[in-house]
Amino acid sequence: MDTREKLDAFQKRIDNDEKIEPKDWMPDRYRKQLIRMMSQHAHSEIVGMLPEGNWITRAPSLERKLVLLAKVQDEAGHGLYLYSSTETLGARRQELVEDYIYGTAKYSSIFNYPTLTYADICVIGWLVDGAAIVNQTMLAKSSYGPYARANIRICREESFHKKQGYEMLAKMAAGTPEQRRMAQDAVNRWWWPTLMMFGPPDDESPNSAELIRWKVKTKTNDELRQSYVDQMVMEAEAIGIKLPDPELKYNNNTGHWDFGEIPWDEFWNVIKGNGPMNRERIKARRKAYEEGAWVREAAMEYARKKQLREEKAS
């Protein structure tokens, strides 16, 4: 088959909702787009451990500490599934990692904000994991098999994270005036950045059309953002939390909640590396990477020796 025929056959498989697997033929651009998106997702899970890890030693009780430790550990696991699935495309993990800690590869904008009080931990569970679930439930149906399967597992764990965040926030919102103030203040700071997690508006999203044609994404950034807002309005109301948007209003014609203008300048600034915590996050990741060099070397040596032993034995 010539390239045109291969491309047509590939698109036909996608249109028939077949999964593409690592050894199947795929256009270079499909591979490249997946490596970009999946590795960004993996980096986000790993960088995402930092804002929450910051509160492990200060959790308000042993139970809360155990829950937070388990959550942060889950995020590390998600990073690992995602790096492994990106490797099925021929990418090398070390290069991917070095691309964001020393280069220009991106990770989610949301992890460049500080966690100022324990209420931020509740809000990350509710709002950030909540947004991640809306996005990743869609990605669990992605056309690339290993990515879809990684997201199925991730979503199951994120659902638990969201429930525990919501439960903690509900308790705070029903607590003392000081606890209620902390809960509301955290929601005020995190609401707009969580709306930005879904990416720029559709008419400013250069990758969406191609990703949707290949069913890597099956919904647009704005469609996902809208379903998130619709869901969160009700959840906020149920626990007496006010979302910080005076323009939130139910629209009888569309059946959705209209919302105010997202501060997009802030988003572009954060993804260019100028958010409140970008430099600190990269510094922390560089330190961990450099101090962990001996572990990687030891693991590689162990794998090399094991392979030699197996070759000798066979």
Closest approach of ligand FAQ to the CB of residue 129, in Å? 5
Supply the DSSP string of 106-156, one letter for each residue: ---GGGGS---SHHHHHHIIIIIHHHHHHHHHHHTT-SBHHHHHHHHHHHH
197 sits near ligand FAQ (criterion: CB under 6 A): yes
148 sits near ligand FAQ (criterion: CB under 6 A): no
Closest approach of ligand FAQ to the CB of residue 110, in Å? 6
Among candidates 143, 134, 127, which has minimal Cα distance to 224?
134
Supply the DSSP string of 167-231, one letter for each residue: HHHHHHHTS-HHHHHHHHHHHHHHHHHHHHTT-S-GGG-TTHHHHHHTTSSSS-HHHHHHHHHHH
Residue with tokens 């809000």: 123
Among candidates 39, 40, 33, 42, which has minimal Cα distance to 14?
33
Closest approach of ligand FAQ to the CB of residue 87, in Å? 17
Closest approach of ligand FAQ to the CB of residue 90, in Å? 19
Among candidates 112, 105, 70, 39, which has minimal Cα distance to 270?
112
Site for ligand FAQ in 267-296 (CB under 6 A): 271
Three-state DSSP class for 258? strand
Toward ligand FAQ, which CB reaches closer, 40 or 117? 40
218 sits near ligand FAQ (criterion: CB under 6 A): no
91 sits near ligand FAQ (criterion: CB under 6 A): no
Question: How far is 176 from 179, CA to CA, in rounded Å?
Answer: 5
| Contact residue for ligand FAQ among 30, 39, 44, 191 (CB under 6 A) | 44
166 sits near ligand FAQ (criterion: CB under 6 A): no
The interface region with ligand FAQ, picked from 14-22, 38-46, 285-293, 302-310 by CB under 6 A, is 38-46
| Contact residue for ligand FAQ among 86, 109, 184, 226 (CB under 6 A) | 109
| Contact residue for ligand FAQ among 10, 26, 39, 41 (CB under 6 A) | 41
135 sits near ligand FAQ (criterion: CB under 6 A): yes
Toward ligand FAQ, which CB reaches closer, 109 or 164? 109
36 sits near ligand FAQ (criterion: CB under 6 A): yes
| Contact residue for ligand FAQ among 54, 207, 227, 231 (CB under 6 A) | 207
Angle, CA 51 vertex, CA 48 and CA 57 arms, to 5°: 125
| Contact residue for ligand FAQ among 26, 67, 124, 241 (CB under 6 A) | 124
40 sits near ligand FAQ (criterion: CB under 6 A): yes
CA atoms within 13 A on the CB side of 67: 18
The interface region with ligand FAQ, picked from 89-97, 129-137, 233-241, 287-295 by CB under 6 A, is 129-137
**CA dist 240 → 163, 187, 195 (Å):** 16, 12, 20
**CA dist 146 → 23, 51, 118, 141 (Å):** 11, 28, 35, 11
C-alpha 28 chain-centroid distance = 24
Residues that bind ligand FAQ (CB under 6 A): 36-37, 40-41, 44-45, 48, 75, 106, 108-109, 124, 128-129, 132, 135, 196-200, 205-208, 211, 221, 271
